[in-house]
């Protein structure tokens, strides 16, 4: 082994006693330098007699692109205070199979790249990387002050292409994510309230959410002061699916003998669901106007969508109540079955829609 390799500065207190290359990887043996006495990992005392030697195999940062494997000869000391104890090594955790510097590099890259990329980059197992990532996040959370939220936002998102769900809870004011858990049932979100504790639960003023009965009931069970606020984004998305899409399909079926008109309606989905102010050019605007002029049912549900959104903008409880009653009556009298059905179901949730007047918040905060 070249002599200058013996004292590489990477491993304080140890020298390289063997150096080999197998395929692409570098294998190094490290042994304690004689002038560095062991330090007890219990009480930090230096100079106790060596009890025994043990080899530990571990990974370090790659050197010039080559994976690095270390075999380190660690000492156990016979400490007068602590008894037999592992020696303390600054660049190595107590039971770690990775050096501190490798663990730090992995955790750093986890904040920038997907886990599988980081695993490939360092030639580590996916589970190892995931563990380091979790530890990094936990340390970040520990460093923050204890949260004391007044307004919460709860939302669910799909994992694994929609087969499983997770719930996320956020502080609406600090925008800090407070909790993430698997599932979207009452039982699944209960641990969040347990963690928050009765005193902090009692201080919650409002919780924004989708019209999801599970969240709704669980919030009421734990937070006596909290008003539930239903989120405009979710309601409008639901309206698009259950009313606009339904009417569009019905109309296309009704016009099955008029191929040109049928095609116009089948291709109109995007135009109808998009906000009018987001239409890119006059061509799209003219197409939308023509479509609505030619089809009474589509025009009705389109105008009712605007009316629904306006409910979230009401300035006073009184103005809201009037607009809400008008909207429900129009839906009922429209003669459009899916619209009347949607309105009937929505009417059970009126409190959570009215709350929006007092608590202008929405789960869309989670999506920014």
Binding residues for Zn ion (CB under 5 A): 40, 42-43, 45, 79, 81-82
What is the spatial distance between Cα 286 and Cα 306, in angstroms, rounded to a whole number? Answer: 18
Cβ atoms < 10 Å from Cβ of 85 = 21
CB of 126 to Zn ion, least distance (A): 37
Cβ atoms < 10 Å from Cβ of 329 = 11
Of 83 and 317, nearer to Zn ion (C-beta) is: 83
Q: DSSP states of 236-278 as a string?
A: HHHHIIIIIHHHHHHHHHHTTT-HHHHHHHHTTHHHHHS-GGG
Q: DSSP states of 90-149 as a string?
A: TTB-SS-SBBHHHHHHHHHHHTTS-HHHHHHHHT--HHHHHHHHHHHHHHHHHHSPPP--
Of 43 and 303, nearer to Zn ion (C-beta) is: 43
φ, ψ for residue 252, nearest 5 deg:
-60, -40
Of 45 and 200, nearer to Zn ion (C-beta) is: 45
φ, ψ for residue 178, nearest 5 deg:
-95, -30
231 in Cβ contact with 176 (< 8 Å) = no
CB of 100 to Zn ion, least distance (A): 21
CB of 15 to Zn ion, least distance (A): 25
CB of 83 to Zn ion, least distance (A): 8
CA distances to 14, 65, 72 from 29, in Å = 10, 19, 6
Which residues, 6+ apart, have CB-to-CB distance to 332 below 8 Å?
Answer: 340, 343, 344
What is the spatial distance between Cα 226 and Cα 30, in angstroms, rounded to a whole number? Answer: 61
Of 74 and 232, nearer to Zn ion (C-beta) is: 74
Q: Strand 164-171's sheet: what is its strand order?
A: 177-182, 164-171, 151-159, 206-209, 227-230
Of 87 and 216, nearer to Zn ion (C-beta) is: 87
CB of 84 to Zn ion, least distance (A): 10
Of 39 and 305, nearer to Zn ion (C-beta) is: 39
What is the spatial distance between Cα 165 and Cα 250, in angstroms, rounded to a whole number? Answer: 32
CB of 44 to Zn ion, least distance (A): 7
What is the spatial distance between Cα 315 and Cα 311, in angstroms, rounded to a whole number? Answer: 9
Of 79 and 357, nearer to Zn ion (C-beta) is: 79
* Residues pairing with 28 in the sheet: 19, 70
Quick one: DSSP state of residue 24? Answer: T
CB of 39 to Zn ion, least distance (A): 9
Of 40 and 74, nearer to Zn ion (C-beta) is: 40
Of 43 and 306, nearer to Zn ion (C-beta) is: 43
CB of 81 to Zn ion, least distance (A): 4
CB of 14 to Zn ion, least distance (A): 21
Of 43 and 180, nearer to Zn ion (C-beta) is: 43
CB of 38 to Zn ion, least distance (A): 10
């Amino acid at each position: 082994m070249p002599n200058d390799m013996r004292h590489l500065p990477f491993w304080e207190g140890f020298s390289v006693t063997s150096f080999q290359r197998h395929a692409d990887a570098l294998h190094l043996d490290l042994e304690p330098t004689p002038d560095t006495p062991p330090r007890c990992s219990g009480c930090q005392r230096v100079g106790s007699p060596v009890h025994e030697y043990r080899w530990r195999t571990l990974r370090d940062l790659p050197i010039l692109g080559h994976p690095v494997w270390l075999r380190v000869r660690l000492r156990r000391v016979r400490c007068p205070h602590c008894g037999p104890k592992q020696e303390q090594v600054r660049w190595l955790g107590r039971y770690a199979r990775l050096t501190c510097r490798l663990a730090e590099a992995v955790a750093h890259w986890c904040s920038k790249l997907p886990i599988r990329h980081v695993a490939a980059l360092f030639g580590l197992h996916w589970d190892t990387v995931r563990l380091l990532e979790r530890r990094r996040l936990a340390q970040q959370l520990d460093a923050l002050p204890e949260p004391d939220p007044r307004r919460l936002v709860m939302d669910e998102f799909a994992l694994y292409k929609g087969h499983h769900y997770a719930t996320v809870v956020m502080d609406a004011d600090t925008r800090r994510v407070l909790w993430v858990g698997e599932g979207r049932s009452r039982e699944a979100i209960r641990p969040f309230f347990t963690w928050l504790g009765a005193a902090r639960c009692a201080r919650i003023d409002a919780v924004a959410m989708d019209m999801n009965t599970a969240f709704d009931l669980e919030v009421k069970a734990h937070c006596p002061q909290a008003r539930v606020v239903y989120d405009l984004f979710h309601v409008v998305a639901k309206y698009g699916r259950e009313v606009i899409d339904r009417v569009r399909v019905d109309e296309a079926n009704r016009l099955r003998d008029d191929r040109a008109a049928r095609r116009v309606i089948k291709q109109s989905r995007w135009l109808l669901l998009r906000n009018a102010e987001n239409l890119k050019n006059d061509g799209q605007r003219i197409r939308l106007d023509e479509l609505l002029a030619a089809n009474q049912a589509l025009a009705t549900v389109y105008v009712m969508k605007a009316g629904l959104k306006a409910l979230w903008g009401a300035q006073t409880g009184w103005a809201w109540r009037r607009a809400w009653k008008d909207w429900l009556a129009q839906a009922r009298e429209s003669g459009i079955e899916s619209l009347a059905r949607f309105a009937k179901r929505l009417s059970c949730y009126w409190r959570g829609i009215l709350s929006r007047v007092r608590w202008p918040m929405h789960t869309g905060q989670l999506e920014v």
